[in-house]
Each structure stands twice: as C-alpha cells, then as structure tokens.
C-alpha cells in the first residue's frame, strides 16, 4: 500500500450491524489491517445517536436491521447538515442491483455485498476516507479564506488609529441611509467637527500625544452617541457624524452635548495634563441638494464656527 495522504490514526469509523458476529468479523479485519479508531452500534437509533454526538469520519452500515433499516439511518444522517458530509458505505447481504440503487439513493457513497473481498473492502474504505478528509480540508481552507476576506473588508472600512469608520465606510453608509429616506421618507442629520488648534497639541506635546488626543476624542464621541449613529474619521483631526432619524434641531443638541463632553474632559498623556475643544457644523440631509451638498453645508457651518471663535456649534 502507498503511504496514506491523510492521518488515519485519528480517523474514527462507526460500524453498524444488528448481528454481533458480523460486527466482530468486520472489527477484526479493520483492527488487523488499519489504524482507524473504531466504534460499534447494533441498531439504527444507537447509530444515529453516536453519529450526531461524535461525528465519525465514516459509517459502515448494515441494511437489514429491525426497527430502523440502514437506508433510513442513511437518509436521516444526510438530512442533518451537521452530519450530511459523513460518507456511508453499505455492507450487506442484500445483493440485488435494486438494493444497491436504493442505497445510493439514500445517500450512500458505496455499496458492498457480502461475501466481500477483504482487500477490496479495505481499499474502498480508504478511497472514500481520502475523499472525505480532503473535502474536510477544503472546507477548512474555505472557512479560513472567508475569515481573511472579512478581516480585509473590515480593515478597508476602518480608521486604524481610532477604530472609527473611515471616509469610505461612512460614504457607503450614507448612501444606504439616502436610499432608505427615498423609500420611506426618512431623514438624517450630519455633524462635521474638527479639533481646535490641534497643530498646537502636536507642536507642544509631540505627535504621539496628538494621536492619543485623536483616539480619546473618538472614544468620547462614541460614548455620547446612540448605537445607530455613525462617527467617522473624515480627515486628520476632522470627524463626520451621521445621525439617522434626527432633525436639525436635535442634531444641534447632540453636537452641543459632544462639545461640552470634550471641553470638560481632562486629557492626560505622558505626564502632561491638558484640555481640547472642538468646533461643530450641523446640517440636515436635504434630498433636493443631495449628499455632497448636504455635507458641504455642515462643512460651511464648521468653517463659520472656526471664523467666529471656535469651541461652538453652528448650523
């Protein structure tokens, strides 16, 4: 025999037969010729219980058994998505071609009539195990790929410094909100905000402290907003917030709350304590001018706030 491609000593086979003598014969053949782990069941119910709880790598299944025959066991196993990929080989005294057809219809991968030729039986078992184990490996690889894909997608939509949504992410989410408004006549508001004299923080305390301020301001904003609100890092020290189902007046109140929270926070980093303030521009999304112009309205209000003293909310 060639060296098996897969690790057979970890492989578990369930042998099912209502006749103890048959179980013994088959068990001995497998023990003498392979390193598979073996489990035995003497009726269909016992077999299904074991299959569901332990998920063996293969089932060698007798057909004629009282109460529940092998075909039914196989059908039940195939119906359950958790066990459907376990290969079933029928080993039976039923030799008619129609019996084999019924076995394949029930979902079996092979059908071996007794008396069988021992080396052939062993090779069939190994072939089907190889297929099963390489299928399992492919599925595992697929799961890993899926996970990697989801991670990359998440990274592409996240600002790495603050963990906030990035510009692309909030643009996507605003597009979704805009079409929701089109359909259901909803509404939402925007807050564009920017840290005041942030350059001074960098110049006075260094870039690391600046980064710390960005992360802290992000956390303060998140903790003062609702679950459904989206805060994004729009640019350097500038943030855009989308507030679904929020009118202009309410959005101004939200911005005022954020302004207070940030102004009152005592920031401390690398032995230095200091405060920062932020200026806020607020607009309500207007479907007649579109998203770009609605953002610009918030941006213009922010600019006005910067021109007229900072640390304020302008609509």
223: number of Cβ within 10 Å? 8
H-helix or E-strand containing 209? helix 207-223
Sequence-ordered list of residues with C-beta below 8 angstroms from that of 81, at least 6 positions apart, any chain: none
Is residue 303 within the footprint of ligand GH3 (CB under 6 A)? no
Measure the CA–CA gap between 75 and 165, rounded to whole angstroms. Answer: 48
Question: Contacting ligand GH3 (CB under 6 A), which of 197, 216, 245, 300?
Answer: 197
Q: Is 237 a catalytic residue?
A: yes
Q: Which of residues 236-255 bind ligand GH3 (CB under 6 A)?
A: 236-237
Residue 62 binds what, of ligand GH3, Mg ion, none (CB under 5 to 8 Å, by partner type)? Mg ion
Query: Judged by CB under 5 A, which of 42, 64, 181, 304 binds Mg ion?
Result: 64
Burial class (CB in 10 A: 0-12, 13-18, 19+), 158: middle
Subset of residues 201 to 230 that bind ligand GH3, contact rule: CB under 6 A: 202, 207, 210-211, 214
Beta carbons of 71 and 106 less than 8 angstroms apart: yes
- Least CB distance from residue 151 to Mg ion, whole Å? 30
- For the CB of residue 312, give the shortest distance to Mg ion in the complex, in Å: 14
Q: Quick check: 199 binds ligand GH3 (CB under 6 A)? A: yes
**Which residue in 237, 247, 260, 272 is the catalytic one?**
237
> Least distance from C-beta 272 to ligand GH3, angstroms?
14
Is residue 212 within 8 A of residue 267, CB to CB? The reply is: yes
What is the DSSP code string of 174-208?
Answer: HHHHHHHHHHH---EEEEEEEETTHHHHHHHH-HH
Closest to ligand GH3 by CB, 75 vs 167, is 167
Q: Which two tokens stand for residue 48?
A: 């299904």
- Binding partner of 211, given Mg ion, ligand GH3, none, CB within 5-8 angstroms per partner class: ligand GH3
Select the binding partner of residue 71 from Mg ion, ligand GH3, none (C-beta < 5 to 8 A, by kind): none
Task: Select the residue interacting with ligand GH3 from 71, 198, 269, 280 (CB under 6 A).
Answer: 198
d(CA 75, CA 90) in angstroms, rounded, equals 12
3-state secondary structure (DSSP) of residue 243: strand
**306 in contact with ligand GH3 (CB under 6 A):** yes
Q: What are phi and psi of 208, to 5 degrees?
A: -60, -40
Residues found near Mg ion in the complex (CB under 5 A): 18, 62, 64-65, 194-195, 198, 237-238
Q: Which residues are catalytic?
A: 237
């Amino acid at each position: 025999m060639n060296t098996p491609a897969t690790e057979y000593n970890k492989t578990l086979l369930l042998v099912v037969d209502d006749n103890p003598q048959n179980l013994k014969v088959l068990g001995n053949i497998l023990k003498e010729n392979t390193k598979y782990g073996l489990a035995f069941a003497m009726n269909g119910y016992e077999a299904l219980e074991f299959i569901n709880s332990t998920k063996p790598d293969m089932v060698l299944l007798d057909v004629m058994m009282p109460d529940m025959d092998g075909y039914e066991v196989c059908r039940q196993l195939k119906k359950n998505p958790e066990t459907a990929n376990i290969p079933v080989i029928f080993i039976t005294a039923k030799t008619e071609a129609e019996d084999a057809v019924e076995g394949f219809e029930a979902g079996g991968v092979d059908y071996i009539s007794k008396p069988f030729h021992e080396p052939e039986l062993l090779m069939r078992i190994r072939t089907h195990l190889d297929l099963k184990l390489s299928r399992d490996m492919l599925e595992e690889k697929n799961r890993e790929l899926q996970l990697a894909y989801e991670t990359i997608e998440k990274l592409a939509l996240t600002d790495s410094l603050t963990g906030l949504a990035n510009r692309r992410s909030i643009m996507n989410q605003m597009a979704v909100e805009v079409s929701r408004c089109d359909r259901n006549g909803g509404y939402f508001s925007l807050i564009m905000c920017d840290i005041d004299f942030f350059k001074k923080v960098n110049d006075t305390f260094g870039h690391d402290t600046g980064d710390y301020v960005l992360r802290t301001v992000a956390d303060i904003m998140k903790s003062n907003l609702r679950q459904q609100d989206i805060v994004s890092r729009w640019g350097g020290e500038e943030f855009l917030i989308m507030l679904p189902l929020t009118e202009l007046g309410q959005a101004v109140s939200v911005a005022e709350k954020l302004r207070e929270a940030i102004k009152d926070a005592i920031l401390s980093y690398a032995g230095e304590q200091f405060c920062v303030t932020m200026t806020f521009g607020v607009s309500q999304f207007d479907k007649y001018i579109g998203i770009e112009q609605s953002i610009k309205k918030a941006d213009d209000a922010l600019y006005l706030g910067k021109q007229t003293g900072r640390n304020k909310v302008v609509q």
